[in-house]
Structure 1
Amino acid sequence: MMHRANLRSWPRRLLLGCAAGFAAANLAWAGDATAPSSADSSASAPTLAHFNPAFLNIGNSQGDAQSGAPDDAPHFNASDLAEFSHGNIALPGVHDVEVLLNDAQVGKHRVLFNTLPDNQGTAPCVTAKLLGGIGVMLSEFPAVDPNVAGQCIDADRQMPNAHFSYEADTEQLSITIPNAMLRHTARGAIDPSEFQNGIDGALFDYRISGSKSEMAGGGGAGGIQWYGSLRSGINLGPWRLRGTTTVNRDAGGTQVQFQDIYARRAFTGISSQFTIGDATTDGSILDSVPFRGVQLASDPAMEPESLQGYAPVIRGIAQTHAKVELRQNGFLIYSTYVPPGPFRIDDLYAAASNTDIEVTIIEADGRKRTFAQPYSTVSALLRDHAWRYRVTAGMLRVPGVTKASPFAQATLAHGLPGDFTLYGGVTVSPIYQAVVFGAARNMPVIGALSLDIKHARSRLPGGRIESGQSVRLAYNKSLDVIGTQFNVAGYRYSTCGYHSFSDVAAANNSTLDVLSTINARDRLEINIAQPLRSAGSLYATYTQQGYWGMQDEDRVLQFGYSGSYHSISYGLDLSYDRHPDGTSSKQVAFNLSIPFGKTQNHTFTASMLSGDGDIKEGASMSGTLLRGHQLNYSIRADLSSQGGQSGSASLNYLSGVGQFGVMQSLSKGSAQTSVEVAGGAVVHAHGITFSQPLGETIGLVAAPGASDVGIESTQGVSTDHAGYAVIPNLTPYRRNNITLRTADLGSQVAVRTATRIVTPRRGAIVLARYKVSKGRMMLDIKDQKGQPMPFGARIETLAGDDVGMVGPDGQGFVTGAGDRGKLRVRWGKQAAEQCELAFDLGHPSQNNLMPEATAVCRPLPARTAKATAAVGPILPSTGEPS
């Protein structure tokens, strides 16, 4: 129970506490005095602040008299504020901070902050290990010993031209190093040693759907259908074991299938994945076929994003230390500084737009030179020096094919200088042999072009041998003047004797001459896109497919326009289809969407579709509900000019443990009700955690004691009663931030670091562990003589974790220390400026939001006196607590 004296002093303590907080945050900076730099510090010392202690009624009796303070006002020495006399500092100890190298983010690291001499604030301990890990060439700094990993570096003495600074408000450590002293690494490159295998565990991903159809007029049930799939797996070290089971039940019975059973692991040293079991070959060079066997294939996801896809190498010559800027469509996409002489930029991100790149060289004296770098791409193009390969051996696995079809396949592609790529592949089987060779080139003015030729030899039923060739061409060009994007997505011509591997295998498992009806002759796909600036955009596509033995061809021609006015969007689409049998159809569609609501999370849509002698008009309303937009709804009605009417309504709810949906549809003469449930579960060392559908790579939040806490940047995900949660669909081989929503922690829970950074390997269950402590209280702390502790003294656990600070009258607000235990109070780094106390709240009432206790702080025993110059190494944050 709160003492009567404490009740009387609450208004004063509250006022003084607010004033102290305001003072500590702002400190009335004078800005004209700076503290001297430390000899062993790597960062510039913080600016000295001038503050009048009388603002807090702090000072001697004369000051109190002048300030009009009452006699019972608390008395403190001005030195109590010494630790706050230097602005923008971090408290001594280890902190997780964002590190910037020349203003570019290089990840979050765990950094030790040391107290500067004479209480001049703190400075980050920047070590050789940290600098080497972010790409600094330590050999350029002879005074830095790379073998002493934990020694703090003095930038002024050991690294001329380097600068370290820390911003406490953003928790960012900025490191500035001349570019010439940095290793050339691609933007976004991550050291493979950061890739995490994750924890061992089992996972289950399920989806169940069912529908019931009824006919009007008492015709009885139209039918009940159920479908379920379960994707299960086990993670053991670097290995991923996966398998899928499907169940399909309808009026014809129940079918159960086991498929896609495989084991896979990554080899980051060669940026590859090894698979044994069921998988599919890549179709970019040779035909894609499912198989059961073994495969070793390159995995581009392990490479930095700036090296994925295709982008040209930018070359030029700088006459001075120059700045190089690259622009595309008028937007700055890259900027860097280069030394005098030839330069090369090979880490551009692959752009969605294939427009030319404008290169501007800005010399040190202000002179500018500009030239254009052509940029067009096709899917076969690779960057300079890039490799892609895939080696497969096994049995063909095609539905309906029962006869074993063993085969081996290999493909290889290599990017060469001059925006040139060579690629090829081979397939060998008793019934099929094929070889393909091709090249791709990004050419100025003309555009990007790829061409390959494939020769195949097929053994057909009855021992008949047929051979043929297939030629494939792809072309892409953007007309920068008017912005037109012209793309021949693919043209293929095949001779009569050419067959695909899957078709030959099917033919050898059939008594029918299936090849006579499925032998394609040629195929053409053309896409044209034309932006109209603020007026919208146009598109046109044309597809043509011809077959041997048929004079006519399949043709599909489509045109479309889309635009918007403020938040209203609209579109018009036209389509014409013609088939080899002479039949054809025409369709015209128009749609209009109008968002509404305070946050525009509801949309009204009107549509019209004309085709096959019928005109259908439709109207729908859709949107999201609830605070986290977890509930999606849709209502739609359609009317046909031929008298038909239909309508539907659906609800979909996304929770932390699954996705649930229901839909009802009505039409003339029938009705259908369908439901769907999807979700996942992870079995780990501490139990079972249910989740939304998992995806390939997942994170497991472990915050025991923090239940029902949301996860930032997710929808519907929160910790369960044990403090665990599953984060689906993490990006493999990339740094993923997993952040607890601190607003959900409540008044009795504290977490030391709310964000963990994880870098999972593909398919991993990566752990993000948080150190959670519970409880908060007000401690009335006195020393052995009954005097209050100095104002501003820090309250720590014996492990060194900050849990509070001493305010006026020796009152300390403590959070996350539990209901009983020992704490340390520290107002300096000498042993005489520290003491320890024991506290026990007993069994505080749940209704008591601020339990109170008194404690006597006793001097430290000599053997436990805190070291005054502790220095430790910087450790990268791996998701584990310190």
Structure 2
Amino acid sequence: MKTYSFYKWVLCVPFFAFEAVGVEFNTEFLKIGEQGQADLSQFSAPDRLAPGNYLVDIVVNNNYYKQQEINFVENTTHPQTQPCLPRSLINTFGLKQEYISSLPEHSCLMPADLPGITARYYKNNGQLKITVPQSLLEYYDKNYTPPEQWDNGIAGLMMDYRIIGNTRQNKHEDRVNSLSAFGTTGANLGAWRFRGDYQFANYSNNEGNQSLDFNNIHAFRPLPSIKSQLTLGQTYLTSDIFDTLSYSGIKLASDERMLPPSLRGYAPRITGIAKTNAKVTVSQQGRTIYLTTVPPGPFNIQDLSSAVQGELQISVEEEDGSTSQFTVNTASVPFLTREGQIRYNTAMGKPTNGGNHVQNPFFTMGEISYGLSSTWSAYGGTILANDYHSAAVGLGKDLYQFGAVSLDVTQARATLEDQQYLGHSYRFNYAKRFDSLDADIRFFGYRFSDKKFISLSEFTHASNGVLQRDNKQRYSLVTAKQFDGFSTYLSYTHDAYWNAKSSERFDLSASTLFDIEQFKNVSLNISLSYNKDQDRNDLVSYLGISIPLEGQTRVSYNQQTGRGRFDQTVSLRQNRGKDDYYQLTTGGQQNNALVSGFYQHKSDAYQLGLSGSYVSDSYHSASANLSGSMVSTLHGSALHSSGSSGNTRLLVDTHGVSDVTFNNGKNHTNSFGYSIIDGAPPYENFEARVDMNNLPANAEAHAPIRSLVLTEGAIGYLPFEMNQGSKLLVLLKDYRGVSVPFGAEVTNTQTGKANAIVGEDGLTYLIGVKPESQLKVRWSDKSCTLVLPQVLPDTVTTPQPISCR
């Protein structure tokens, strides 16, 4: 019987290359027979390809860039075929203009035409690695990718949703049922993003009411060449100088997220204390921008967009129907601009009441900042409207290790009911990160406005009603400090008014981990929250200690005081894997016995939360919340669990291979091979990683790590080359029945990637093939195509003859 052990050894030879030099083979030792001269040309140099077009993964400076078809051509001065790089591709590398101007005027360029730049193809993973020296780049920062490499994503539809249902029965009262929903729907087309928010509320009680609103309907697109964003429709006047205002119109503004990270602002952070399983609503000027449920105790919301600015209204609705409200003022880094650069923000339109109702007056706004030097920036702006005019000037200073400051003054002139108002407002901002102390003053600000100063927002309200509660002064502080194993967070805001009592908000939290005998990682949390408004003073304190038991189980004691009550509970929490947990609580609430439970489940498609409470002689309640998102594109569709406000997301495609996990098991592909990875930060490099240790059976991944930089609101798309299929030993014959020459290359016609090298007598070992797969075989200047049978043999020990035509 004929054996193939020697031939299998021969098949392995081409995959071992020790030096990148040309090699000549003596073919006399091979039993060529009737198949003619073997094609060993591709073995004369490592990673050699036959001339032709190939779909390759382009990697620039060790970062995955994109997948594109590249033409490889013969080169008489080089043993390998060389990639001819399209000029359109080269122009996206962020090269200096003088370098680009010095290049030959060809539609595609060889590596020899690109001084200083190297390009090499690696056959084992299908990657074309391009190295560009830092000296040739227009701008270099290891944490910053130039605009030429940003990706606008693909066209598609999306809908993010969060639904909360509640039922409550207070003692001696009728049952109250409520259903609320909030989310964003939208579409992407090229660089344009179309978005709109919807809000639904239904309360069934004695009176009953229901509402459905659509607002914040707008379109926007990035303009990378000027590091700006254009917005049309209903949006917010998010100014670095003037107060926030909702309006309908047009806006063109610099987007600081397109700048290097060192000049970007901070995302807002909201903290508070809930006494029960509560619904937290974050709104701005009457429009809901965030909705969630939280368990009893301190809560911390940090996933708001960094684009959110201005005053936010926070509502905490408890299970018993009581509601507490407070205000948070978001902070930003002082207005700084790089030397010689200009930042600007322009807008025009009419104010809205937070919904779709447009109000007078029509206004135009413009602000600008210019970098005077590497440390000084000058800025100013103006608002023009009928009977209203405001102008501001200011200076910003980078103090290096001492932080950054800004100081500005605004003058406003207004006419209301034939009465003239002329006032001024003065503002001071400071931000600093103390690395040596591991402390962070994220923002400190002070603002004073004299009695006749009127902002555009106040002027709008006064024109449609009565001028009330005008601002006098505000000072705020947000800081964090990390001690040895102990972390703290403090925020404080004080507002004073000319025609009303002052208000203030104070939040302090501290947490640490420590050991008690055999109990490791015991956690201690202390929070204090004080809210003083027009009609009430609330001081709420919280103490919580949590002790880990066996496995994923923890037992905790929680104590909460304030608002005329003293509550203490004991809870048992158990995590069931990384996606599920439940918590059971018992104790006392306002001298009444309490029993409650909370369950949270997260899947790839949605998040589900269930809770229920019973308080003796008071009330019983139950609630459920469901959240997630849907994305549909021409490449594929998927459900996912973490969509929020139409933000940036990534569609990964494993070409039909299901249950492939990404990013440490956080995402799984569905039965069609698609998964959505949410939360990709815009204008920052984002990696998607296949979990190689958890691949499905008979699956192999090539280039398991890929990255890209997406623009704001994009639906990114990353295809991952996956092989899932049979391993097959075949004897390849041409149409005459003659064995395909030794050394011929077999490629997958769908992906363009190499699959195998033909051995002696046409013996070939195919991997990852499926029934009726189409493969192309190339040698010298010849080629043929083979189609595998509908039923593949389940063995690789006996070669199967297959005809290649």
TM-score higher than 0.5: yes
Deviation at residue 272 of structure 1 after TM alignment:
2.7
**Higher RCO (CA 8 Å, separation ≥ 6 residues):** 2
**Corresponding residue number in structure 1 for 2:620:** 671
Judge conservation of contact 1:95–1:113 (CA < 8 Å) in 2: no
CA offset at residue 257 of structure 1? 1.6
1:792 and 1:807 in contact (8 A); partners too: yes
Structure 1 letter corresponding to 2:587: L
Residue type of the alignment partner of 1:392:
A
Cα distance change on mapping 1:26 and 1:239 into 2, 3 Å: closer
| Residue 765 of structure 2 corresponds to residue 813 of structure 1 | yes
- 8 A Cα contact 1:402 1:509, kept in partner: no
Alpha-carbon distance in 1 for matches of 2:14, 2:127: 20
Aligned to 2:347: 392
2:470 and 2:100 map into 1 onto residues whose CA distance is: 68
The answer to whether the aligner puts 1:637 opposite 2:585 as a matched pair is yes
Contact preservation (8 Å) 1:558, 1:573: no
**TM-superposition CA deviations, 1:566-612 (whole Å, max 9, x none):** 872644546474858897665543333456777xx665544333456
Cα deviation, 1:137-166, whole Å, max 9, x if unaligned, reads 697799x852235343349xx85x776667
- Corresponding residue of 1:855: 802
- For 2:219, the equivalent position in structure 1 comes to 263
Query: What displacement does 1:397 show?
Result: 0.9
Q: Which one of the candidate residues 225, 232, 238 is aligned to 1:276?
A: 232
Deviations 1:45-99 (A, max 9, x none): 2597999x9xxxx9799xxxxxxxxxxxx9x999999966866878987463564
Q: d(CA) in 2 for partners of 1:779 and 1:735?
A: 43
The equivalent residue for 1:96 is 56
Give 1:491's aligned residue. 446
Alpha-carbon spacing, 1:138–1:200, altered in 2? closer, same or farther (3 Å): closer
Q: Which amino acid aligns with 1:664?
A: G
1:146 is aligned to 2:104: yes
Which of 404, 407, 410 pairs up with 2:363?
407
TM-score by length of 1: 0.68
Q: Is the 8 A contact 2:771 2:788 kept in 1?
A: yes
Find 1:680's aligned residue among 621, 624, 629. Answer: 629
Letter in 2 for 1:228: A
Change (3 A) 1:295 1:177: closer
Indicate how the Cα distance of structure 1 residues 153 and 503 shifts in structure 2: closer, same or farther if over 3 A, else same.
closer
Q: 1:839, 1:854 within 8 Å by CA — same for their partners in 2?
A: no
Measure how far apart 1:274 and its partner are: 2.5
Which secondary structure state, in structure 1, belongs to the residue aligned with residue 457 of structure 2? helix
Match of 2:464 in 1: 509
What's the counterpart of residue 292 of structure 2? none
1:780 aligned residue: 731
Q: Structure 2: 5+ residue runs without aligned partners? A: 267-305, 307-331
Structure 2 distance, partners of 1:476, 1:514, is: 33
- Shift of residue 683 of structure 1? 4.6
- 2:745 corresponds to 1:794: yes
Per mean C-alpha deviation after superposition, the further-off stretch among 437-446 and 848-857 is: 848-857
One-letter code of the match for 1:546? A
Alignment of 1:718 onto 2:643: no
Distance 1:707 1:803, change over 3 A: same
Q: What SS class does the counterpart of residue 762 from structure 1 fall into?
A: coil
What is the CA–CA distance in structure 1 between the aligned matches of 2:563 and 2:766, rounded to whole Å? 75
- Alignment partners' CA distance in 1, 2:262 and 2:64: 14
Judge conservation of contact 2:511–2:524 (CA < 8 Å) in 1: yes
Match of 1:803 in 2: 755
Mapped contact 1:186–1:306 kept (Cα < 8 A): no
Would the aligned equivalents of 1:658 and 1:693 in 2 still touch at CA under 8 Å?
A: yes
SS in 2 for 1:651: strand
AA partner of residue 134 (structure 1): F
Alpha carbons 2:604, 2:668 under 8 Å: kept? yes
The reply on whether 1:204 has 2:159 as its aligned counterpart is yes
Deviation, structure 1 residue 289: 0.8
Which position in structure 1 is the counterpart of 2:594?
646
Structure 1 residue 675: Cα displacement: 1.5
Q: Aligned with 2:630: secondary structure?
A: strand
Question: Contact (CA 8 Å) 1:839, 1:853: kept in 2 or not?
Answer: no
Q: Counterpart of 2:496? A: 546
Does the CA contact (< 8 Å) of 2:231 and 2:252 recur in 1?
Answer: yes
- Please give the alpha-carbon distance, in whole angstroms, between the structure 1 residues aligned to 2:88 and 2:597: 59
Matched position secondary structure for 2:338: coil
Q: Which runs of 5+ in 1 are unaligned?
A: 35-44, 62-73, 311-349, 351-376, 859-882
Residue of structure 1 in register with 2:199 after alignment: 246
- 1:597 and 1:267 mapped to 2: Cα distance? 54
**Is 2:83 the counterpart of 1:134?**
no
CA distance in 2, matches of 1:732, 1:469: 37
Give the Cα separation in 2 of the matches to 1:774 and 1:579: 63
Separation in 2, partners of 1:772, 1:480: 44
Counterparts of 1:561 and 1:292, CA distance in 2: 42
**In structure 1, distance between residues paired with 2:77 and 2:342:** 57
Distance 1:306 1:380, change over 3 A: closer
Give the direction of change, closer, same or farther, for the CA distance of 1:663–1:422 in structure 2 (3 Å limit). Answer: same
* Residues 803 and 228 of structure 1, relative CA distance in 2, 3 Å threshold: same
Q: List per-residue Cα deviations over 1:99-151 (Å, max 9, x = no partner).
A: 454xx648356566678989977776678776665355697799x85223534
Q: Secondary structure at the match of 2:461?
A: helix
> 1:707 Cα shift?
4.8
After TM superposition, the score normalised by the length of structure 2 is 0.73
**Which residue identity lines up with residue 300 of structure 1 in the other structure?**
E
Is 1:16–1:808's contact at 8 Å kept on the other side of the alignment?
no
- Distance across 1 between alignment mates of 2:790 and 2:492: 79
Larger Rg: 1
Q: CA deviation at 1:225?
A: 0.4
Alpha-carbon distance change, 597 to 289 in structure 1, aligned in 2, over 3 angstroms: farther
8 Å CA contact 1:261, 1:277 repeated in 2: yes
Equivalent residue for 2:429? 474
Separation (CA, whole Å) in 2 of partners of 1:641 and 1:205: 36
> Distance in 2 between the 1:587 and 1:506 partners?
34
Matched, 1:449 2:405: yes
| Structure 2 CA distance for partners of 1:89 and 1:653, relative to 1, 3 Å | farther
Cross-structure match for 1:500: 455
CA deviation map 1:655-707 (0-9, x unaligned): 34333332223333322211222333345457865444543234445666445
1:592 pairs with one of 533, 542, 545: 545
Give the number of aligned pairs.
Answer: 725
Matched, 1:295 2:242: no
C-alpha separation in 2, matches of 1:514 and 1:213:
39
Deviation at 1:278, TM superposition (A): 0.9
Amino acid at match of 2:413: R
- Specify the code of the residue in structure 1 equivalent to 2:104: P
1:154-187 CA-to-partner distances (Å, cap 9, x unmatched) read: 49xx85x776667777877666676555545555
TM-aligned CA deviation for residue 822 of structure 1? 6.5
Question: What residue is the counterpart of 1:425 in the other structure?
Answer: 381
- Among residues 780, 788, 800, which one is paired with 1:830 in the alignment? 780
Distance 1:23 1:844, change over 3 A: closer
Identity among equivalent pairs (%): 23
Quick one: structure 1 residues 259 and 46, their matched pair in 2 at CA, closer, same or farther if it must change by over 3 Å?
A: same
What CA distance in whole angstroms lies between the structure 1 residues aligned with 2:533 and 2:737?
Answer: 100
